[in-house]
Structure 1
Amino acid sequence: MHNWNWDDLRYVAALADTGTIAEAARRLNVNRTTVQRRISAFEEQLQYRLFSRDGWGLTPLPEATPFLEAARQIDESLSAIERKMSGASGDVSGDLTFTTTNSMYIAQIAELVSRFQSAHPGILLHINLTSSTLNVSQREAEVAIRPSMAPPEHLAGRRICDVTFGLYASWEYAARFRSHSPAEHDWIGYTDSFEGTPANEWISNNVPRNRVRMRADNYVAIAEAARWGSGIAVLPRAFGDQHDGLKRIEGMLDERISTGLWMLTHPDLRQSPRVRAFMDFMSHGLSDVRKVFDC
């Protein structure tokens, strides 16, 4: 039987993830000497090295693989326990982190958040605006509100409504708009992070590649590029219609571009009073303004 200190696995995992003693110490909130001592003692106990040392840092050797896998399994198990404990609390108070895209936040969610805070002053909201998918399982976010065709199956939640897209350009560009052929216009496209989305698929299927003058990874940047005359943008109508610098272009779309707007959380958290209060409030609020999104 081994007599390892399982806490040593945290040090192994942190060093493998960061590659340097200094970064591992920062992540673990200890000093560098502690990291060096714990790793050296663990390697001495095993009687073989887990990391190669070179001038660029420390690289995990194949011998470290089973320890890294065990460390990550333990971390996931502890995260699951934390989620269940959070769900057991009966107080509608405490911190709550949610994520959405910047365009959805600007379109309607910011107002609903303000109303939620008035209704639940005991909850401190932490807002992450990003087009990337935060890891709800690892508590990077407890609730996600975002457009999606097919959200991850391991998350629980509800489809609020559809998000319909339109074509937008600056007022100056729209004033000289004549042709309804996509090939005769400049366009602002999406980066690879939008691959598979309806808006990106429409551009790929209808716009010649040489007419895409710019690409961006979020709707706000795309809208600003369109506002300054870089071309036509495909944007959610809830966002584009309220942008003072943009005018919707009609007559070019021969199909409806839309996706779902989902509110999601981890199954272990859906009965948490904090999470349930937020999701119920936002669900009702978004349902009341669904025509703004699905117009």
Structure 2
Amino acid sequence: MVDLVFIKDAEGEKEGLTAHTICANMHIMNWDDLRILEVCVRCGSFLKASEELSMSHTSLSRRITKLEDDLKVTLLHRSTAGITLTDIGISIFAQAQEMASAALTVKNTTQNAADMAGKICFETIDATAFNLLKYLGEFSKLYPQIEIDLRLNQNMVNLDRGDADVVLRATNAPPDDYVGYHLADHAFGIFCSTELLNQHPATAPLEDLPWVMFSDGWSDDWLKALNISPKVVMRVNTAHGLVQAVRAGIGVSFLACYGIANDENFVCLRAPRKEWHLQIWLLSHKTIRRNERVKTFVRFLRQKIVNDKDRIEGRIGSPMRSLEPAIR
């Protein structure tokens, strides 16, 4: 049996605690409280943690207090700005992270390969998900015993914590410790609605058109590279929201060709350029490779996306009908 080792801090010295004393108290604690501690520290506040865990703020605080009482140490400093770990809390938090990682590994490597029934948590951004719905529906018909838990998230989730089983993400810097496939490259062009185009002269420069941009500014550098400073009339925090804003005629924007290239409501003002590409990665955690359900899902989705490669990379659809000669 491997002993748990905790570092004694100044607080422990004051209270006369030692690592041996803390370990002796471990048998009376609720192990699930370590998981709650890990989420609280990662989120930085009880309020944010309560949203992730679907527990009330009061319940979370009470569980952490009970954990501290069981271990006879103070784990967290509480303030109006949030929560931070004490020195002894840092050590125990590290143990909690290791336990969470070990539990995930056990879960992912002990699946019965012959049993395809169960759930797959699949995470991607909203606009991509809507393009894939027909394929997900096809998968469900082929494997009705598998439930797809589709989660839409603009930020990369943490596969180490088991936040998802499979992630489809557009990124030129995929995490090193995940396994997966580079399937294609998202091609981005400059699009607007036919309605908006009809409101401006055919020779109107891009700088004179209203623009809609992503809230976190990830494509702002592309705009700067065009050496223009247009009026940004709106920013949107989701990819699908950005598409809908352009569709509504609010402004011009960089949009992925996938899903809109053949849509007659959109006009491509600038054809895709190589510097406007983002790699598409289908990722899972390295410990989940033996999970038969996930392997089947990844294999199925990989083939569907590769078959769509020409549309994703802008070789078919309206990017081939660029209006660059008409719009300066």
Calculate the TM-score normalised by the size of structure 2. 0.74
Match of 2:259 among 228, 239, 245: 239
**Alpha-carbon shift at residue 150 of structure 1 (Å):** 2.0
Equivalences, count: 282
Q: 1:209 to 1:270 in 2, by over 3 A?
A: farther
Does the Cα contact within 8 Å between 2:192 and 2:251 map onto a contact in 1?
yes
Aligned to 2:172: 149
Q: How does 1:182-201 map to 2 (within 5 A)?
A: 182-192=206-216, 195=218, 199-201=219-221
Aligned to 1:211: 231
User: Per the alignment, in what secondary structure is the counterpart of residue 238 of structure 1?
Assistant: coil
Consecutive unaligned residues in structure 2, runs of 5 or more = 1-19, 316-328
Query: What is the CA deviation profile of residues 21-53 of structure 1, one whole-angstrom value per residue up to 9, with x for unaligned ones?
Result: x959948xx89877644432321xxxx544457
Are 1:226 and 2:241 counterparts? no
Are 1:97 and 2:121 counterparts? yes
User: Per the alignment, in what secondary structure is the counterpart of residue 306 of structure 2?
Assistant: helix
Q: 1:66 to 1:35 in 2, by over 3 A?
A: closer
- Report the Cα distance in structure 2 between the residues aligned to 1:156 and 1:218, rounded to whole angstroms: 26
Q: 1:247 to 1:90 in 2, by over 3 A?
A: same
**Alpha-carbon shift at residue 241 of structure 1 (Å):** 2.4
- Report the Cα distance in structure 2 between the residues aligned to 1:180 and 1:156, rounded to whole angstroms: 47
Does the Cα contact within 8 Å between 1:240 and 1:248 map onto a contact in 2?
no
The residue type equivalent to 2:33 in the other structure is Y
The residue type equivalent to 2:186 in the other structure is V
More displaced 10-residue stretch of structure 1: 74-83 or 49-58: 49-58
The residue type equivalent to 2:311 in the other structure is V
Query: What is the CA deviation profile of residues 167-186 of structure 1, one whole-angstrom value per residue up to 9, with x for unaligned ones?
Result: 21121222234346432222
- Report the Cα distance in structure 2 between the residues aligned to 1:280 and 1:254, rounded to whole angstroms: 29
Does the Cα contact within 8 Å between 1:143 and 1:264 map onto a contact in 2?
yes
Does the Cα contact within 8 Å between 2:179 and 2:284 map onto a contact in 1?
yes
Are 1:82 and 2:103 counterparts? no
Aligned to 1:113: 136
The residue type equivalent to 2:142 in the other structure is A
**Alpha-carbon shift at residue 147 of structure 1 (Å):** 1.4
Does the Cα contact within 8 Å between 2:120 and 2:149 map onto a contact in 1?
yes
- Report the Cα distance in structure 2 between the residues aligned to 1:80 and 1:284, rounded to whole angstroms: 27
The residue type equivalent to 2:155 in the other structure is S
Aligned to 1:280: 299
User: Per the alignment, in what secondary structure is the counterpart of residue 24 of structure 2?
Assistant: coil
Does the Cα contact within 8 Å between 1:8 and 1:42 map onto a contact in 2?
no
RCO comparison, higher one (Cα < 8 Å, 6+): 1
Are 1:64 and 2:86 counterparts? no
More displaced 10-residue stretch of structure 1: 6-15 or 168-177: 6-15
**Alpha-carbon shift at residue 135 of structure 1 (Å):** 1.4
Q: 1:144 to 1:280 in 2, by over 3 A?
A: same
- Report the Cα distance in structure 2 between the residues aligned to 1:135 and 1:150, rounded to whole angstroms: 15
Calculate the TM-score normalised by the size of structure 1. 0.81
Are 1:255 and 2:273 counterparts? yes
Q: 1:290 to 1:3 in 2, by over 3 A?
A: same
- Report the Cα distance in structure 1 between the residues aligned to 2:300 and 2:141, rounded to whole angstroms: 12
Does the Cα contact within 8 Å between 2:123 and 2:150 map onto a contact in 1?
yes
Query: What is the CA deviation profile of residues 98-156 of structure 1, one whole-angstrom value per residue up to 9, with x for unaligned ones?
Result: 0122111222x111111111111111110012221111221111111121212111111
- Report the Cα distance in structure 2 between the residues aligned to 1:31 and 1:151, rounded to whole angstroms: 34
Aligned to 2:160: 137
User: Per the alignment, in what secondary structure is the counterpart of residue 215 of structure 1?
Assistant: strand
- Report the Cα distance in structure 2 between the residues aligned to 1:155 and 1:229, rounded to whole angstroms: 39
- Report the Cα distance in structure 1 between the residues aligned to 2:101 and 2:236, rounded to whole angstroms: 34
- Report the Cα distance in structure 2 between the residues aligned to 1:226 and 1:39, rounded to whole angstroms: 52
